[in-house]
Amino acid sequence: MIDAIETERLVLRGFRKTDAADLFAYLKQPVASCFLSLKLDSLDAAEAEAEKRSQSGENIAVCLKDTGQMIGDLFAMDEGDTFGVGWNFNPDFGGQGYAFEAARALFDDLLTVRNVRRLYAYVEDHNAASRRLCERLGMREEGLFVEYVSFTSDANGDPIYENTMQYAILRKEWLASSLARSGPRQD
């Protein structure tokens, strides 16, 4: 489990069952195709998902500091000295820099506090917003997996494959960056 992290406008913390309504707000119609498998059909399903996430150290709720409203989530999957990371935010809060602020705080925690060696993220090549976020975070594009994964099917039931990009950053790259030197933590 992650300790709560505060930034100027956000609190990153573990999930709670009470996050169900906020989770349902953006998982009833996932925007990014990679989250289609997480689509929730009811508030009851959202409660079960929030409860499940509350038991996992991989899922991190991103909440507005002033109201406590959950506006999105991050994940960090531990693979030893490497973590797979990602984000999913309520589109109603898009364009305000929340995803960058939250991801930057998570990266700082993983790379400087917990001394993780490497972070990586998978992003579908058509997801321009997530690609820009990776680049703003100082991640480098490591590769393109052509027709790597399918999240949907066409009218005939045949899978529609998407190209997936991999981005990554090493701890030494983060520590050398201005993002780490200016640090988002407000302890």
Mean pLDDT, residues 72-84: 95
Q: Above 50 in pLDDT, residue 120?
A: yes
Q: Is 187 a residue whose pLDDT tops 50?
A: no
Please give the Cα distance from 7 to 30 (Å, whole number): 26
| pLDDT tens by residue, 33-69 | 666 567 788 899 999 999 999 998 899 999 999 999 9
Q: What is the pLDDT of residue 161?
A: 86
Query: Model pTM?
Result: 0.89
Backbone angles phi, psi at 186, to 5 degrees: -120, 40
Say how many C-beta atoms besides its own lie within 10 A of residue 132's C-beta. Answer: 13
Which position has the token pair 């990554």?
A: 168
Whether residue 179 has pLDDT greater than 90: no
Residues 82-119 pLDDT 10s: 999 999 999 999 999 999 999 999 999 999 999 999 99
> If you search the block for the tokens 């100027």, which residue do you land on?
8
Which residues lie closer than 8 Å to 165 by C-beta, 6 or more apart? Answer: 122, 123, 124, 125, 131, 141, 143, 144, 145
For residue 56, CA distances in Å to 10, 60, 86, 183 come to 21, 9, 15, 26
pLDDT at residue 30, as a whole number: 65
What's the confidence (pLDDT) of residue 182? 67
* 60, 12 Cβ separation under 8 angstroms: yes
